Amino acid sequence: MQKLNYLSLTVQGIYVMITGLQLIFIPATLLGMFGFEAPAEIWIKVLGILVLALVIPYYSINTSGNKEVVMSTVWFRLFVSAGFLFLVVSGQVKSSLLLLQGLM
């Protein structure tokens, strides 16, 4: 069986890794680019660790070449985008949150 390398998952994995590292080490810089204030609590760094952990399945999925699992990542990303859109439309967060939807 030929294993396929999915460019979109490779790019997504790199983006997620960079974003996770930024949330851990320089959250004020990352969130400031989108018009958000960095929280003083530790939770943003906890989120960074969780985001960074997403790199592991992205890498595994990308190297396995399983088309069905690759498609599940598309649905996952669409769900996150819809959730962010709901938060913006309902007035709970700034519209700049939509710029972060590539995070997942």
Q: Quick check: 10 pLDDT over 50?
A: yes
Give me the pLDDT at residue 42, please. 92
First vs last C-alpha separation in the chain: 28
Torsion of CA 58, 61, 64, 67, to 10 degrees: -140
Please give the Cα distance from 6 to 12 (Å, whole number).
Answer: 10
pTM of the model: 0.75
State whether residue 3 is helix, strand or coil. coil
Q: What is the pLDDT of residues 31-81, one digit of tens each?
A: 888 888 888 889 999 999 999 999 998 888 888 777 788 888 888 888 988
Question: Residue ranges of the domains in the chain?
Answer: 7-103
Query: What are 98's two structure tokens?
Result: 């939509």
Distance of alpha carbon 23 from alpha carbon 86, whole angstroms = 23
Residue 102: the pLDDT is 61
